[in-house]
A and B are shown apart, each in its own frame.
Chain A
Amino acid sequence: MKWIPLLLLLPSLAAAPAQAGEGAALVAGVFDPPRPAPDFTLPASDGTRLSLARYRGKAIVLAFGFTSCPKICPTTLATLAQARKKLGARAGEVQVVYVTVDPERDDAERMRKYLAGFDSTFVGATGTPAELAAVRQSYGVTSTKTGEGSDYGFAHSSYTYLIDRDGNLRALMPYGHSSDDYAHDVGILLGP
């Protein structure tokens, strides 16, 4: 009869791991199984050649956009800057990489100045139209030029990609999530 209380405890014990797993779930959309994030080598806003492999050991938030973007890109970058602040001491373990879809206007210097307005650690990447198109294709990102003359813009994919320390593409965050969501998910990618 002594083991009856133990039997009563079994269901809650069985449920415990599942609850812990749910608590650690990402807010972003999750790829299962994760696959290696497609790498690339492009001219960076810091004057170097940028590849994702350079940041192995850090979590990477990869975004696509253009510096003349009126709303989506500034909102996303401001959110990412806030999220980085919320990570506190762990902020250094995260790298935001912003790849332009507008190589005609976005050279390395312009990207550097633009990104510094959000967070000086953000790194931009530019390149030839063909190089950038290849990178977009490898992630399933779309970008369509809109408008005429010098006042053109782009309708582009607005989500960001979350890459873990080992270079695996783990998740995709749709546009509109808060800095808390980013901090939460990046925290999970970084681990304990």
Chain B
Amino acid sequence: MSASCSGPERTRSVGRGVNLLRAHWMVSLLAAGLLGATSWGALTPLPLAAPSASREEIFEIPKGTWARRMAGDPVEILPDEIHLTLGVKDVLVLRNLDDVPQIFGPTLMMPGQSFRLPFQVASSYPFTCTAHASGQLMVIVEPMPETPWARLRWRIESLLRGAI
């Protein structure tokens, strides 16, 4: 003779089952989302696919920077490291919008002048830069991520750096 559940016990059992299903459903949804995001990150081509997309990474010295520095404000414009990726963002653009000449990145720039430097080889490029306390700016040019894993890693790193 098989045992049968009484009314309240059966309700509790169904409730546990529903909770379990709900929890699994949430986990499944999360897993599916994660899988989808990972697949997108790994398989979707990088933005270079659009020929019109800009490959420039632009940095500007705002007007008044020199005056602020003279007033004791340690203005930081360039990060210590600039990360570029061949075929995606591989052109460094520096603009001096201030009223005085500035040594900005690798070069002395007059007011209103810009400097556009394309990179073609993946490597680390150290540049002297008086805008930094260390006196050096490092431009790290990475190869274009070709494999799904490399694309995924590139996207995660870019996301962590706030680049995308």
Where the two chains meet, the residues of A that have a C-beta atom closer than 8 Å to any C-beta of B are 25, 27-33, 35, 138-140, 142, 157, 159, 172, 174, 176
A76 to chain B, nearest CB (A): 15
Q: Which residues of B contact A33 (CB under 8 A)?
A: 112-113
B99 to chain A, nearest CB (A): 15
B51 to chain A, nearest CB (A): 10
Q: How many A-B contacts are there with CB distance less than 8 Å?
A: 48
CA A31 to CA B120, docked complex, whole Å: 18
Q: Which residues of B contact A157 (CB under 8 A)?
A: 106, 128
Is B107 at the interface (CB under 8 A from chain A)?
Answer: yes
Question: Quick check: B115 and A31 within 8 Å, CB to CB?
Answer: yes
Encoded as 1 (CB less than 8 Å from any A CB) or 0, chain B from 67 to 103 comes to: 0000000000000000000000000100000000001
CA A142 to CA B136, docked complex, whole Å: 11
Nearest 8 interchain pairs by C-beta: A140-B108, A29-B117, A142-B128, A140-B103, A30-B116, A32-B114, A140-B107, A35-B110
Question: Quick check: A27 and B113 within 8 Å, CB to CB?
Answer: no
Q: Which residues of B contact A27 (CB under 8 A)?
A: 118, 120
Q: Which residues of B contact A138 (CB under 8 A)?
A: 108
CA A116 to CA B1, docked complex, whole Å: 109
A86 to chain B, nearest CB (A): 18
Question: Quick check: B113 and A35 within 8 Å, CB to CB?
Answer: yes
CA A157 to CA B110, docked complex, whole Å: 19
Question: Quick check: A29 and B106 within 8 Å, CB to CB?
Answer: yes
Is B40 at the interface (CB under 8 A from chain A)?
Answer: no
